[in-house]
Chain A
């Protein structure tokens, strides 16, 4: 197998492609509110790759993996909620 397809080289490659995609969605975007969901989804994927493959939690005791992955899910869910429902429920300031 070519070296680039092996972890962690593959992880690095996916992270670079994901960054380019977020950049494109953010800058060229033009897909309105969906851009937010795409941005948060890609951020979650990237963070998960760093946690599992770079921080090596994929092969760590399950408890630590669950705690950190749980944090990722929670923060992503809360950010999505604030992004989509925030404008409806939060007061508008200056």
Chain B
């Protein structure tokens, strides 16, 4: 009898305390966060040493494009969350639709970044222009690599989801891809204000 009384409590507690995705993936996430965290703090530190340079170069960036890309990534993260929730609720036909939306927004981010880089290169600005652009190109290019990789992952998930692969009995793959995509979003949440806005 006591077993019967305690067992459901343990089960519901376990369901509440769920780490989404592959547990090993979280160590990669942590490694990424620690690395980028050092870059963010280093950026603010270098900015303190060359505030005038950073402020002047920052003004050449197109803030509107930066904010549009922020909205793209936030909304695509929301779409991925919605895809995961649809899979959990066994609404299988909705999963690929949400993922397709997230992929399109990821592609939109790349297109805007392409125009931003092209404009800078056309103006003769590159990684070596000054310390600000050193950080700007290095950080946004590493981040763009993550956007491209994440979009590939989402496309694989989308392809599987069209076959109805994700449902309450098979969540690990879609949860893992979702966590990585949220990391991409999370990093941009820091990069956008640091590079485009901080005065």
Contact = CB atoms under 8 A, between A and B. Distances in A.
B115 interface: no
Contacts of B26: 64
A40 B189 CA distance: 11
Contacts, number: 130
A29 to B, nearest CB: 7
B34 A12 contact: no
B44 A86 contact: yes
A19 B198 contact: no
A26 B45 contact: no
Nearest to A82: B44
Contacts of B192: 19, 22
B34 A87 contact: no
Contacts of A62: 17
B182 A82 contact: no
Interface string A32-70: 000110011011001100110111100111101001100
A48 B7 CA distance: 33
A44 to B, nearest CB: 10
B133 interface: no
Contacts of A87: 48, 51
B199 A79 contact: no
Nearest to A91: B49
Interface string B61-77: 00100010011001101
Interface residues of A, number: 48
Contacts of A51: 182, 186
A59 B12 CA distance: 12
Given A26-B198, A39-B198, A56-B18, A12 B45 contact: no
B198 to A, nearest CB: 6
Given A26-B199, A39-B197, A54-B185, A59 B16 contact: yes
B75 A36 contact: no
A87 B45 CA distance: 8
Interface in B131-188: 131, 178-179, 182-183, 185-186
B117 interface: no
Contacts of B82: 8
Given A26-B196, A51-B182, A61-B17, 19 more contacts: A8-B85, A16-B71, A22-B197, A26-B63, A26-B193, A26-B199, A42-B193, A47-B190, A50-B189, A59-B17, A60-B17, A60-B20, A62-B17, A68-B33, A71-B30, A71-B34, A71-B37, A74-B37, A92-B50
8 contacts: A26-B193, A26-B196, A51-B182, A54-B78, A67-B30, A83-B198, A87-B48, A94-B50
